[in-house]
Amino acid sequence: MYVEPSEPHPEIPLAGGDVTEGVVRAGDTVRRPVGPNAPLVHALLRHLEDVGFAGAPRFLGIDAAGREVLTFVPGEVAGRPRPAWIADEERLASVGRLVRDYDQAVAGFVVPAGVRPGYGVSEPPGMPPEPSYPAEVVGHMDYTPDNIVFRDGRAAALIDFDMAKPVARVEEALNAMLYWAPLGDPADADPPLREVDVPRRCRILADAYGMSDVDRSRLVEVALLRARRSWFSMKQIAEERGGGWARMWDEGVGDKIKRREAWLERNAVAIDAALHAV
Ligand X SMILES: Nc1ncnc2c1ncn2[C@@H]1O[C@H](COP(=O)(O)OP(=O)(O)O)[C@@H](O)[C@H]1O
For ligand X, the closer CB: 54 or 214 = 54
> Min. distance of Cβ 213 from ligand X in angstroms?
33
Is 35 one of the binding residues for Mg ion (CB under 5 A)? no
Is 37 one of the binding residues for Mg ion (CB under 5 A)? no
| Binds 73: which of ligand X, Mg ion, none (CB < 5-8 Å by kind) | ligand X
**By beta-carbon distance, which residue lies closest to ligand X?**
17
> Min. distance of Cβ 35 from Mg ion in angstroms?
11
Is 68 one of the binding residues for Mg ion (CB under 5 A)? no
| Binds 261: which of ligand X, Mg ion, none (CB < 5-8 Å by kind) | none
> Min. distance of Cβ 57 from ligand X in angstroms?
4
For Mg ion, the closer CB: 68 or 215 = 68
3-state SS string for the chain:
CCCCCCCCCCEEECCCCCCCCCCEEECCEEEECCCCCHHHHHHHHHHHHHCCCCCCCCEEEECCCCCEEEECCCCECCCCCCCHHHHCHHHHHHHHHHHHHHHHHHCCCCCCCCCCCCCCCCCCCCCCCCCCCCCCEEECCCCCHHHEEEECCEEEEECCCCCCEEECHHHHHHHHHHHHCCCCCHHHCCHHHCCCCHHHHHHHHHHHHCCCHHHHHHHHHHHHHHHHHHHHHHHHHHHHHCHHHHHHHHCCHHHHHHHHHHHHHHHHHHHHHHHHCC
> Min. distance of Cβ 246 from Mg ion in angstroms?
17
For Mg ion, the closer CB: 14 or 121 = 14
Which of 68, 103, 146, 171 binds Mg ion (CB under 5 A)? It is 146
> Min. distance of Cβ 95 from ligand X in angstroms?
15
Give Cα separations from 108 to 7, 12, 38, 160, 221 (angstroms).
Answer: 38, 36, 19, 20, 28
Would you give the binding string for Mg ion spanning residues 12-31, x where CB under 5 A is met?
-----x--------------
Which of 29, 147, 230, 267 binds Mg ion (CB under 5 A)? It is 147
Q: Which residues of the chain form contacts with ligand X (CB under 6 A)?
A: 14, 16-20, 23, 30, 32, 57, 70, 72-73, 77, 146-147, 159-160, 162
> Min. distance of Cβ 19 from Mg ion in angstroms?
8
